[in-house]
């Protein structure tokens, strides 16, 4: 946010920040292609700056974000998405079937276990065990069939041996290797 303010007006101070300057800054942010929510965060930042400087927050220093219609895909993008072969890139199919944050995918450890577990839908099913980055909770996810096939191909396991425990690499590099 400070970087955008510096690009907009390098020598701008709070004392010289007027209503006209504020509306020029809003126009600048719109020209940069920022969404209303992002612009709202910039305005919130400015209000905090006034408060921290122990100056009166001007009444005009507000930006109302109207909840509008969600952006839709253009027709050519929608057609390209409809024609896309999801099986062409197995690592993307693997990520899609898991529905995990990227930060959580970075730290996955694959532990196939044979023993019974009441939290698993079926005994002997491959389970992903990891600590969720955002919440810090321990998570166990059953690995879907497509994910099992990709894991077997990438890790060179052939058919995953559920009787033995295996610790596979936790780095993302194995996700990117072609099958």
Structure confidence by residue, pLDDT tens digits, 133-145: 777 787 777 777 7
Task: Look up the pTM and report it.
Answer: 0.39
Same domain, 17 and 92: no
Q: Which structure tokens are listed for 59?
A: 């009444």
Confirm if 137 and 127 have CB atoms less than 8 A apart. no
| 95 lies in the same domain as 27 | no
Q: Say whether both 160 and 104 belong to one domain.
A: yes
Span 77-111, pLDDT tens digits: 888 888 888 777 766 777 777 777 777 776 665 55
Q: What is the largest CA-CA distance in the chain?
A: 71
The answer to whether residues 165 and 96 belong to one domain is: yes
Residue 166 in any domain: the answer is: yes
- Residue 129 structural domain: 85-176
Instruction: State whether 95 and 156 are in the same domain.
Output: yes
Using DSSP's 3-state secondary structure scheme, residue 109 falls into strand
Residue 80 placed within a domain: no
Question: Going edge to edge, which strands form the sheet with 127-131?
Answer: 109-111, 127-131, 138-142
Count of domains forming the chain: 2
Looking at the structure, do residues 93 and 140 belong to the same domain, yes or no?
Answer: yes
């Amino acid at each position: 946010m400070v970087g955008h303010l510096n690009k907009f007006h390098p020598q701008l101070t709070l004392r010289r920040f007027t209503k006209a300057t504020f509306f020029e800054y809003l126009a600048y942010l719109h020209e940069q292609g920022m969404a209303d929510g992002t612009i709202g965060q910039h305005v919130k930042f400015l209000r905090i700056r006034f408060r921290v400087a122990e100056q009166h927050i001007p009444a005009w220093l507000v930006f109302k974000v109207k909840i509008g219609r969600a952006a839709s895909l253009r027709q050519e993008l929608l057609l390209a998405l409809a024609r896309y072969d999801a099986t062409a890139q197995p690592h993307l199919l693997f990520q899609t079937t898991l529905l995990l944050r990227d930060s959580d995918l970075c730290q996955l450890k694959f532990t196939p276990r044979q023993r019974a577990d009441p939290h698993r839908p079926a005994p002997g099913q491959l389970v992903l065990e990891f600590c969720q980055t955002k919440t810090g909770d321990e998570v166990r996810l059953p690995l879907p069939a497509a994910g099992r096939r990709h894991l077997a191909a990438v890790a060179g396991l052939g058919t995953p041996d559920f009787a033995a425990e295996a610790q596979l690499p936790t780095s993302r590099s194995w996700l990117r290797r072609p099958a």
